[in-house]
Amino acid sequence: MSHASFAHPKGVFYCMSWQLSRIGTFRTIAIKVELVPVKVKQLLSKNLKIKIYRIIILPVVLYGCETWLLTLREERKLKVFENMVLRRIFGPRRDEVTGEWRRLHNEELNDLYSSPNIVRVIKSRRMKRAGHVACMGEERGCIGS
């Protein structure tokens, strides 16, 4: 379990904890991300939570993703992870017809979170790296030229 703490201008301290586990040999994915205590979660705006996700969590999850060979199962796990985090950020919605609270559907999460999904980011980084490797040439030990 890792912890990171930071202070709010009003003097309230926030603690962010995340737990890491392995998928495969070198693939790392965050399993549990939460801000404690519960009152602190309510004080943070959705924009700040999204910034925390983009700046702190995604780099940890995507570290070294340029070299991964993803199976469909691992892609699905990454999508499930991203949807889990986004559901925690955006929270439940009240159904207009019944008035009951419900979880957001995947399509609604994609509409609310305008950035590309995590699998698309991985694939674009892999293509970018492949271009760099192709340009390196044979003098650096690569078969690209």
Q: What average pLDDT does the structure give for the chain?
A: 74
Do 104 and 112 meet the contact criterion of CB atoms below 8 Å apart?
yes
Asked whether residue 22 is assigned to any structural domain, the reply reads yes
How does residue 123 score in pLDDT terms, banded at 50, 70 and 90?
very high
Q: How many domains does the chain have?
A: 1
Task: Give me the residues paired with residue 3 across strands.
Answer: 17
- 52 burial class (0-12, 13-18, 19+ CB within 10 angstroms)? buried
How does residue 131 score in pLDDT terms, banded at 50, 70 and 90?
confident
Asked whether residue 102 is assigned to any structural domain, the reply reads yes
pLDDT digits (tens, 9 = 90+) for 46-99: 888 888 889 988 898 888 888 888 899 999 999 999 999 899 889 888 888 899
Asked whether residue 100 is assigned to any structural domain, the reply reads yes
Range of the domain at 12: 2-140
Asked whether residue 145 is assigned to any structural domain, the reply reads no
